[in-house]
Structure 1
Amino acid sequence: MASWSRNPRYLAFIFLAILATLYLLGSFEGEAPPVTRNSSIEDHDLPNRLARSNKIYNKLLLDRKELIKKFGPTPNDVALFPPNKDPWPAYTVWDFFPAAYNCPFEIQRLGALGDGGKWVCGITRVETKPDCIVYSFGINYESSFEAEILANTDHCQIWGYDFSVTSFGPEIPRDQAHRTHFHPYGLAGTDKHGPDDVQKMYTIESLMKMNGHTHIDILKVDIERYEFETLSALIKPYLSSGKPLPFGQLQLEIHLWHFSFAEFLTWWESLEEAGLRPFFTEPNLVYQNYNRGGTTDLAEYSFINIKGDNIFIKDPPRRERPAEGGRHVPAPTI
């Protein structure tokens, strides 16, 4: 006869074990807990992630030099878009500048698919940041990117600039309009005004001074080739002083009209020297479709700034809050 049938205690034990198993199984069959926003943006592994990303990108810099030798051998000998199948294998300028830097956080497209949306690194880093600042140059009545930043953050204030339109696009919700600020200004390498004070142009630093800002978390620039003049003028004094650029990341459309490979390489390397690293790219295939048979000389790039202490590469300092007995303990990170 089985031992459990001879001793009631065994039977009771088996019965309790079955009940416990059913209880545990039932606790996993309910609805999944709701997804909540991060209560803290502190990431203790962030330095290691950045170190790995830097190592990967430094390897890319060496590979670029070898590719220039292969198709050059100097930058002056490299064509942006080779006109035929010689040399082979074929290449384009964009093969020299892949988005090889690993964003240490989630990468998310904000805004419409197709034209209008931009790829952002770590929007969760600013979702509750009280002093989140976004600048957007080039509106053209399409504001899906800006609208999704508002939807994904609690406090981000957006400054928009475009002298060709008079407001943000219709995507901005009315109940969030108080977090947006539009001006019909253009972006340039120097401050300048047109006849009758129209088409006002300002540098980024001039606009930041006007607005009382010392930093920009996210900077979007789509200004039809003026990006070369504008960013060159912005970067130059920071390279001379060794200070970090005043923004955390950059969403940029590049227009390679009337450029040589050597000129573009020099400009791109100035971005890298200033600390900008591309983490995402996509060609502008809409433009390519409109100009069938031509070259793909427009591309979207997203960069993270690896210098300084912006929110995408450094955790904010831990604040202290008073505790009982006058002793201070670290407060949760915002």
Structure 2
Amino acid sequence: MAVRIVQVCGLWFWVAFALFVFVVIHQSQSILPVTATGSLRHGPSDSKLPEPIRSKGLSTLQRMARSEAAWQSSVILRHEMAAKHPDNPNVPFFPAQELHLFGQFPYTLWDFFPATYTCPHDIQRVGRLGDGGKWVCGMSLYEARLEPSASRPSDETIIYSFGVNDESTFEAEMLARVPSAVIYAFDFSVTSFGPQLAPAHQERAHFKQVGLGSKDEVNRTPQFFTLSTLMAQNKHTYMDILKIDVEGSEYQAFDAFMDWVDANGGVMPIGQVMIELHLMDDKNVNFERFTAWWERLEGFGMRPTWLEVNLMAVTLGKGKTDPRCVEYVWVNSKDPRSILLAE
């Protein structure tokens, strides 16, 4: 008797399974009328498809135009939000605000400056996870660049890196993956790259024990130079990538560089920037100062396309419980020389 029950149950199982397969196939044909290539399975109803499905893809300039509109909306919201709390945007981290309907509403400086401009290409993380690695917009474009030759020296991908410490996984991976990459690194606190740099790539890696500053200081040890001075020393008029982590000195250093750009045609000679922004206290940079600095960069066409909060200080504790360091990626939306703007 038990055997017969098992046989009957087994028969009903296969009947149910066959019915299930029939229903799934029938529904998939009616619900998913588009093939992997984008053509229709049933009849000429292409005109009813949404525009994104019918289009063959947006050009780089079209994607950038959409990103520009999204960024402009975020700028409007930034100023509206600040106007609603005129007494509070004056310190880096704002306490919870008293609202009539919702009680307390906490926010930080970073909430005013989201990364609302989409990278028009792929974006990849380069270097180790956590502190030290960076996000790169259009990494595949740099990888596809031809290796420079004597007849094409301009094909070099020029990368400047400030703040090396003993961690060079970003530089090592860029040199390994991008044959055209040449890196110029600067750090006043160490004497060389970190041990991650492979000997095979040493010819394309240059290091100087100097600091990045708002003015040239040659009568001190170690010396400090402005970004424009270091570019002139290396005979560069352009850099594809700038990576910068200088522990709060970025504001004055970029002030000086923006002054130089204004005095020399007004075109920012950088394709994209990976930068860690630091907030030490309200004396270091307050809301008004940060906003003016940030919006001046936006005026040159720099757009925030990625952000990552660095929680190392929060994790380690030591009295620091605020997210005081944030990694941003900016791309230059007005840069005629940038590989990121190519179709």
Bin the TM-score by the shorter chain. 0.7 to 0.9
How far apart in 2 are the matches of 1:92 and 1:84?
9
Runs (5+) with no aligned partner, structure 2: 1-56, 147-154
The alignment status of 1:193 with 2:205, answered yes or no, reads no
| 1:83 to partner: Cα distance | 3.0
Residue aligning to 1:202: 225
Provide, for residues 131-161 of structure 1, a one-character-per-residue CA deviation record: whole Å limited to 9, x for no partner. Answer: 2100000000100000111122111100010
How far apart in 2 are the matches of 1:173 and 1:237?
35
Aligned partner (choices 232, 245, 248) of residue 225 of structure 1: 248
How far apart in 2 are the matches of 1:117 and 1:68?
32
How far apart in 2 are the matches of 1:212 and 1:135?
13
Aligned residues: 270
Residue aligning to 1:286: 312
Residue aligning to 1:121: 137
The alignment status of 1:157 with 2:169, answered yes or no, reads no
Aligned partner (choices 286, 293, 296) of residue 323 of structure 2: 296
| 1:44 to partner: Cα distance | 8.0
The alignment status of 1:311 with 2:327, answered yes or no, reads no
| 1:78 to partner: Cα distance | 4.7
How far apart in 2 are the matches of 1:260 and 1:56?
26
CA contact (8 A) 1:238 1:274 kept: no
The alignment status of 1:214 with 2:237, answered yes or no, reads yes
Query: Helix, strand or coil: the match of 2:237?
Result: coil
The alignment status of 1:83 with 2:108, answered yes or no, reads no
| 1:290 to partner: Cα distance | 2.2
- 1:104-119 to 2 correspondences below 5 Å: 104-119=120-135
CA contact (8 A) 2:166 2:194 kept: yes
Aligned partner (choices 114, 117, 122) of residue 101 of structure 1: 117
Structure 1 residues 125 and 311: CA distance shift in structure 2, 3 A: farther
CA contact (8 A) 2:228 2:260 kept: no
| 1:85 to partner: Cα distance | 5.2
| 1:214 to partner: Cα distance | 1.4
Aligned partner (choices 279, 285, 293) of residue 256 of structure 1: 279
- 1:43-82 to 2 correspondences below 5 Å: 45-72=59-86, 77-82=89-94
Question: TM-score, normalised on structure 2?
Answer: 0.74
CA contact (8 A) 2:185 2:208 kept: yes
| 1:60 to partner: Cα distance | 0.8
- Look up the equivalent residue of 1:214 and give its one-letter code: T
| 1:77 to partner: Cα distance | 4.6
Identity in percent:
39
| 1:308 to partner: Cα distance | 2.4
How far apart in 2 are the matches of 1:287 and 1:162?
21
| 1:243 to partner: Cα distance | 2.5
Residue aligning to 1:319: none
| 1:170 to partner: Cα distance | 0.8
Residue aligning to 2:302: 276
- Look up the equivalent residue of 1:303 and give its one-letter code: W
| 1:303 to partner: Cα distance | 0.6
The runs of 4+ residues in structure 1 deviating greater than 6 Å are none
Structure 1 residues 69 and 44: CA distance shift in structure 2, 3 A: closer
Query: Helix, strand or coil: the match of 1:91?
Result: strand
CA contact (8 A) 2:270 2:335 kept: no
Query: Helix, strand or coil: the match of 1:83?
Result: strand
Structure 1 residues 179 and 59: CA distance shift in structure 2, 3 A: same
Structure 1 residues 208 and 77: CA distance shift in structure 2, 3 A: closer
- Look up the equivalent residue of 2:62 and give its one-letter code: N
| 1:123 to partner: Cα distance | 1.5
Query: Helix, strand or coil: the match of 2:66?
Result: helix
Query: Helix, strand or coil: the match of 2:98?
Result: coil
Structure 1 residues 182 and 240: CA distance shift in structure 2, 3 A: closer
Runs (5+) with no aligned partner, structure 1: 1-42, 317-334
CA contact (8 A) 1:133 1:216 kept: yes
